[in-house]
């Protein structure tokens, strides 16, 4: 056994079980917060969704708001992953590619509910402003910006992000999202050019 005691294996497997339970709770919460919204989802619903009691939820997350915050972190990771893989073979600007990637995420109604509807209302706009997603988006939006005034750059970036969030909701709620994306593309490109 290479000097390891049996208790080391038990400890590790218990840690793995805990991590698995935590991930199951998070997965159930992502699904239910996305499907029913924050207000209509109880911790009991989330626990039942993954076959546990509410006790592990309180143990790992503390309360419903902290769990919802963790769910938003999961969604933020999806956004960061999408923004971090621009296509170097594409003729489109990296901002346009990032916008298209974000719209693809918004095709998922669960993502929209969590990120665009409940997130800002439940967690507050300060969390969004200081998030890693916002930092990455602002980095993309200000790339190549020769304006030395930091305030102007940040103001333009925030204005663009607010406009894009509203546009994403409108496109996602359209009867034909693909058609809406095509219609929005020249308008958003015009906005990028105007504010950059």
**For residue 90, what pLDDT is reported?**
66
Domain residue spans of the chain: 1-62, 71-196
Give the model's pLDDT for residue 62: 95
**How large is the average pLDDT for residues 118-143?**
73
Instruction: Report whether pLDDT(128) > 80.
Output: no
- Give the rounded percent of residues in the chain with a pLDDT score beyond 70: 77
Task: Say yes or no to pLDDT of 73 above 80.
Answer: yes
Find out whether 110 and 30 touch, Cβ atoms under 8 Å: yes
At CA 66, angle to CA 62 and CA 68, rounded to 5? 130
Give DSSP secondary structure letters for 94-148.
HHHHHHHHHHHHHTSHHHHIIIIIIHHHHH-HHHHHTSHHHHHHHHHHHTT----
CB atoms within 10 A of CB 144: 10
Torsion of CA 97, 71, 130, 80, to 10 degrees: -20
Measured distance CA(51)–CA(42) in Å, rounded:
14
pLDDT value of residue 116 = 85
Rounded Cα distance, 194 and 46, in Å: 45
pLDDT bin (cut points 50, 70, 90) of residue 33 is: very high
Query: Whole-model pTM?
Result: 0.75
Tell me, which fold does domain 1-62 have in CATH?
Answer: Arc Repressor Mutant, subunit A (1.10.10)
Instruction: Give the 3-state secondary structure of residue 84.
Output: coil
pLDDT reported for residue 1: 47
Q: Return left, alpha or beta for 62; rule: phi > 0 is left, psi -120 to 50 is alpha, else beta.
A: left
Q: Which range scores top for mean pLDDT: 74-88, 107-121, 129-143?
A: 107-121
Indicate the helix (H) or strand (E) that contains 49. Answer: helix 43-50
- The CATH classification number of 71-196 equals 1.10.357
> What pLDDT score was predicted for residue 23?
95
Say whether pLDDT at 10 is over 60: no
Highest mean pLDDT: which range of 5-19, 112-126, 132-146, 153-167: 112-126
| Residue 159 predicted with pLDDT over 80 | no
Place of tokens 């006790």: 55
Average pLDDT over residues 19-25: 94
Q: Is the pLDDT of residue 92 over 80?
A: no
């Amino acid at each position: 056994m290479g000097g390891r005691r049996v208790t080391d294996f038990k400890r590790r497997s218990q840690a793995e079980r805990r991590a698995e339970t935590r991930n199951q709770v998070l997965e159930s919460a992502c699904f239910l917060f996305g499907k029913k919204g924050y207000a209509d989802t109880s911790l009991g619903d989330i626990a039942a969704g993954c076959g546990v009691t509410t006790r592990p939820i309180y143990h790992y997350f503390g309360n419903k708001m902290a769990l919802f915050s963790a769910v938003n972190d999961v969604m933020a990771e999806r956004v960061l992953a999408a923004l971090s893989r621009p296509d170097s073979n594409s003729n489109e600007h990296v901002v346009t590619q990032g916008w298209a990637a974000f719209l693809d995420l918004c095709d998922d109604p669960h993502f929209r509910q969590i990120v665009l509807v409940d997130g800002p209302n439940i967690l507050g706009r300060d969390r969004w402003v200081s998030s890693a997603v916002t930092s990455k988006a602002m980095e993309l939006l200000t790339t190549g910006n020769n304006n030395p005034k930091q305030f102007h750059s940040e103001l333009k970036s925030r204005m663009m992000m607010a406009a894009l969030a509203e546009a994403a909701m409108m496109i996602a709620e359209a009867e034909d999202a693909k058609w809406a994306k095509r219609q929005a593309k020249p308008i958003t490109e015009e906005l990028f050019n105007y504010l950059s």
